[in-house]
Amino acid sequence: MKTYLKYILISVVAIFFVACSTTKFQTNHIKTELYFGLSKKNGVVTEQEWNAFKLDYISKRFAGYTEIQSKGFWTNPKGETVSENSRLIIYLNKGTQQDSLDIVYVIDNYKQLFNQESVLKIETPVKAIFE
C-alpha cells in the first residue's frame, strides 16, 4: 500500500511541475516600457512639446499604448539624490522586427529632439489576453 501511495504522490508532483513549466513560458506579447525624462539643458519638455511628440512620433508608430505621468529618482556621481518628472509609455506588442524598429525610431527621435542622453527601455515577455 505504501508503494502505491508513493507512486501516486510522485505522479501528482510530476504533473504539477509539467503544468507549471508549460504555462510559464506561454508568452504571446512583449510589454515594452519606455521612460522619457522631461528635463533638458534649457529647462524642461513642456506639456505642449510632449503632446506634439506623442502625436508626431508615438501615435504614428504604436497602434495603442498607455501613458503614465511619473517621477524618477537616482543617485548622481556626487552621491546626491536627483529627481526628474517623466512620462512612462507602456506598449504591448508582438515583438516583431517592425515593432523593434518602431520603438528605436521613437527613442532616437526623442533623444535628438530634446537633447537626451538616453530613454530607459524595459522589455518583458507577457501573456496578454483581451477579454
* 25-83 confidence digits (pLDDT tens): 467 999 999 999 999 988 999 999 999 999 999 999 999 999 999 999 989 899 999 99
Whether 3 maps to a domain, the answer reads no
Residue type, 117: E
Whether 12 maps to a domain, the answer reads no
Whether 76 maps to a domain, the answer reads yes
| pLDDT for residue 16 | 41
C-alpha cell at 21: 513549466
Q: What global pTM score does this model have?
A: 0.78
Count of structural domains within the chain? 1
Could you tell me which of 34, 41, 35, 27 has the C-alpha nearest to residue 94?
Answer: 27
Whether 7 maps to a domain, the answer reads no
Kindly report the CATH number assigned to the domain that includes residue 79: 3.30.70.120
pLDDT at 123 over 60: yes
Whether 4 maps to a domain, the answer reads no
Residue 116 belongs to what domain range? 27-125
Whether 97 maps to a domain, the answer reads yes
| pLDDT for residue 2 | 55
* Residues in CB range of 89: below 8 A, 6 or more apart: 33, 34, 36, 58, 62, 65, 66, 67
* Residues in CB range of 91: below 8 A, 6 or more apart: 31, 32, 33, 34, 62, 64, 65, 103
| pLDDT for residue 3 | 52
Averaged pLDDT of the chain:
86
* Percent of the chain residues topping a pLDDT of 90: 73
Q: Is 76 in contact with 54 (CB distance < 8 Å)?
A: no
Whether 21 maps to a domain, the answer reads no
Whether 104 maps to a domain, the answer reads yes
Task: Report d(CA 17, CA 44) in Å as an integer.
Answer: 51
| pLDDT for residue 26 | 63
